[in-house]
Amino acid sequence: MASRKLTFNIFRHNPHDPGSKPHLQEYHLEETPRMTLFTALTRIQEEMDPSLNFDFVCRSAICGSCGMLVNGRPRLACRTRTAELPKKIALLPLPFFRLVADLSVDTGSWFREMGERVHSWVHTDRPFDSQTQEERMPNEKAQAIYELDRCIECGCCMAACAAAQMNGNYLGPAGLLRVARFLADPRDHRPDGEVYEVVATEDGVFGCVGFLACEDYCPKGLPFSTQLAYLRRKTALKGWRSAHKDGQASIASES
């Protein structure tokens, strides 16, 4: 079968260059078997335009650095085969994040700041003892934590999220999943009131407008809708609300 001639329209702009204006630049490439967007962009950069900026590290859906809008949808470019796409392919940087240049955006700063906002670490008063053995936990518990810990911080959910485009402070699917991950962890002993402060706001669970595009575009299939429902339900629980007032009550008082 004759190979297809692909037309790429790629967003170009360098915000650090005062002379640069946002525009789409056209490139043409012959499709090769099993070609991914990573292969295509690398060939364009090596054979036609070394000034083109884009990010890749692992090429196997692990590092989360290659998220971009592919014909309007957030996807990992390293896992997207050109054969899945029409001959005309438009590539734009993910919205919501700071543009570095062309297809490269700064997801790292947002994820770092979000991690600080939600205190993305295990809170415990137990002093560290290097001599104690690793703590055991039931398999089901470990699996439940692992399921929520699979986020690769690609930013596709934030780019797909209508609420995040309207409210830059919204914790978004990635931030709320992070909160749920620590709530699932029996080693974490942060006071309920602290979690309530973070999630029971317009920047938290009440900021979601319910389109749930995050779930459609998360390349790891993370269960956002169930976790959002779980967090919303928790904010309504009496124990949590009183915990918010006195900063003391325990999750055991929920029922």
Residues found near ligand FES in the complex (CB under 6 A): 56-59, 61-66, 76, 78
Task: Compute the distance between CA of residue 1 and CA of residue 33 in angstroms, rounded to an integer.
Answer: 11
- As measured in angstroms, the least distance from the Cβ of 56 to ligand FES is 4
Task: Compute the distance between CA of residue 222 and CA of residue 216 in angstroms, rounded to an integer.
Answer: 9
Specify the residue, 155 or 243, whose C-beta has the smaller distance to ligand SF4. 155
- As measured in angstroms, the least distance from the Cβ of 65 to ligand SF4 is 11
Interacting residues with ligand SF4 (CB under 6 A): 151-157, 173-174, 177, 218, 220, 222
Token digits of residue 37 = 């967007």
Residue 174's binding partner among ligand SF4, ligand FES, none (Cβ under 5 to 8 angstroms by kind) is: ligand SF4
Token digits of residue 52 = 């083109």
Task: Compute the distance between CA of residue 225 and CA of residue 122 in angstroms, rounded to an integer.
Answer: 24
Residue 58's binding partner among ligand SF4, ligand FES, none (Cβ under 5 to 8 angstroms by kind) is: ligand FES
Specify the residue, 157 or 200, whose C-beta has the smaller distance to ligand FES. 157
Residue 66's binding partner among ligand FES, ligand SF4, none (Cβ under 5 to 8 angstroms by kind) is: ligand FES
Token digits of residue 129 = 């003892």
Residue 56's binding partner among ligand FES, ligand SF4, none (Cβ under 5 to 8 angstroms by kind) is: ligand FES
Specify the residue, 173 or 207, whose C-beta has the smaller distance to ligand SF4. 173
Which residues 6+ apart lie within 8 Å of 103 measured at CB? 10, 11, 41, 52, 53, 54, 55, 68, 91, 92, 93
Q: Are 148 and 180 in contact (CB under 8 A)?
A: yes
Residue 78's binding partner among ligand SF4, ligand FES, none (Cβ under 5 to 8 angstroms by kind) is: ligand FES
Task: Compute the distance between CA of residue 255 and CA of residue 252 in angstroms, rounded to an integer.
Answer: 7
